[in-house]
Amino acid sequence: MKYAVIKKCDIANGPGVRVSLFVSGCRHHCKGCFNEVAWDFNYGNDFTADVQNEILDALKPDYITGITLLGGEPFEPENQRGLLPFLKEIRALYPNKTIWSYTGFLLDKEILGDSRANCEVTKEFLEQIDMLVDGRFVEEKKDITLLFKGSSNQRIIDVKETLKKGKIVLSELNNGKN
């Protein structure tokens, strides 16, 4: 697996100060995507043990709220497989830090349904995530006033509650404005 960028003090992609990992590889190719360079699965650097340790160190300070996964596309099967052991390590070391992920896939129709996003590790991968911003970026629905979303069709989903209740549970942040 490759990654495009690591931001160690990000305040744009989830609440608080976060570490953000932009993975490489995305097949959605949304019109107006802010990170087209990361569509290429071969773009960037290898996601090595040293890189993972660098991120784990960046998560140490108390002021860091958690980590956010972006892309590229974290839910491409290749990326799920590469990220799952790392997310488990984050959970073990930092049980009070939150894990957010962005995805162009819809949780109920694609990730949990019949699509390439639903692979052999998806259930376990989802179980590591606290909040999921789902839905493809739609340029015609772009709204820069939305909190943690790029377009109005996207949803901020409480993954833990959704998995527990068996239906989509939106976060209270879903209708937030910047």
**pLDDT tens digit string along 138-175?**
999 999 999 999 999 999 999 999 999 999 999 999 88
pLDDT at 12: 93
How confident is the model over 106-121, as a mean pLDDT? 94
> What CA–CA distance (Å, rounded) separates 67 from 80?
15
Give rounded-to-5 percent helix, strand, coil for the chain: 30, 25, 45
From residue 118, alpha-carbon distances to 75, 77, 78, 113, 126 in Å are 8, 7, 11, 7, 10
pLDDT, residue 107, reads 97
Cα distance between residue 157 and residue 178, in whole Å: 18
Q: How confident is the model at residue 176 (pLDDT cuts 50, 70, 90)?
A: confident
Q: Please give the pLDDT value at position 146.
A: 93
Nearest to 27 by CA among 63, 93, 58, 72: 72
pLDDT for residue 33: 84
- 2-165 architecture in CATH? Alpha-Beta Barrel (3.20)
Phi, psi of 6 (to 5 degrees): -120, 125
pLDDT at 177 > cutoff 90: no
The mean pLDDT value for 37-57 works out to 96
Task: Provide the whole-model pTM.
Answer: 0.95
Secondary structure class of 136 (helix, strand, coil): coil
